[in-house]
Amino acid sequence: MSNPFFNDFDTPFGTVPFDKVSNEHYLPALEEAMKRHKEEIEAIKNNTDEPSFENVIEAFERSGAMLGSVSAVFFNLNSANTNDEMTEIAKEFSPKLTSHSNSIRLDEGLFAKVKGVYDKKESLDLTLEQTTLLEKFYKDFVRNGALLNEEQKTAVKSIDEELSKLGVQFSDNILKETNEFMMILDSVEDLDGLPEGAIEAAAMTAKEKGHEGKWVITLDYPSYIPFVTYAKNRSLREKLAKAMGTRGCKGNERDNKEIVKRIATLRHERAQILGYNTHADFTLEQRMALKADNVFNLLNDLKDKAFPAAQDHINEVKEFAKKLDGIEDLQSWDYAYYFEKLKKEKYSIDDEMLKPYFKLENVIDGVFKVANKLFGLTFEERTDIPKYHEDVITYEVKDADGNHVSIFYGDYFPRPSKRGGAWMTLFREQHMDGSTDVRPHVANVCNFTKPTDSKPSLLTFNEVTTLFHEFGHGLHGMLSKCKYETLAGTNVFWDFVELPSQILENWAFEKECLDLFAKHYETGELIPAELVEKLKASANFGEGRATLRQLSFALLDMSWHSKNPSSISNVAEHEEEATSGVRLLPKVEGTCTSTAFSHIFAGGYSAGYYSYKWAEVLDADAFEVFKNNGIFDKKTADSFRENILERGGTEHPMELYKKFRGQEPTPDALLRRGGLL
What positions carry a catalytic annotation? 470
Going by C-alpha positions, the residue among 434, 453, 435, 446 that lies closest to residue 471 is 446
Cα 489 from Cα 477, distance rounded (Å): 4
Neighbours of 213 (CB within 10 A): 8
Spatial distance between the Cα atoms of 379 and 407, rounded to a whole number of angstroms: 9
- Torsions phi, psi for 616 (to 5 deg): -65, -40
| Cβ(353)–Cβ(531) below 8 Å | yes
- CA atoms of 616 and 595, how far apart (whole Å): 26
Per the CB < 8 A criterion, the answer to whether 496 and 616 are in contact is: no
CA separation, residue 296 to residues 103, 285, 299, 551, 669 (Å):
36, 15, 5, 10, 20
**Cβ density class 95-117: b for 16+ within 10 Å, e for less:** bebbebbbebbbbeebbebbbeb
Asked if 54 and 127 touch (Cβ cutoff 8 Å), the reply is no
Q: Hey, how many other C-beta atoms are within 10 angstroms of the C-beta on 563? A: 16
The Cα 226–Cα 194 span in angstroms is 7
Distances 604 to 163, 164, 404, 503 between C-alpha atoms, Å? 12, 11, 31, 22
Amino acid (one-letter) located at 232: K
The rounded distance, in Å, linking the Cα atoms of 173 and 183 is: 19
Q: How far is CA 501 from CA 108, 415, 612, in A?
A: 39, 24, 10
- Beta strand residue intervals within 208-259, DSSP E: 215-217
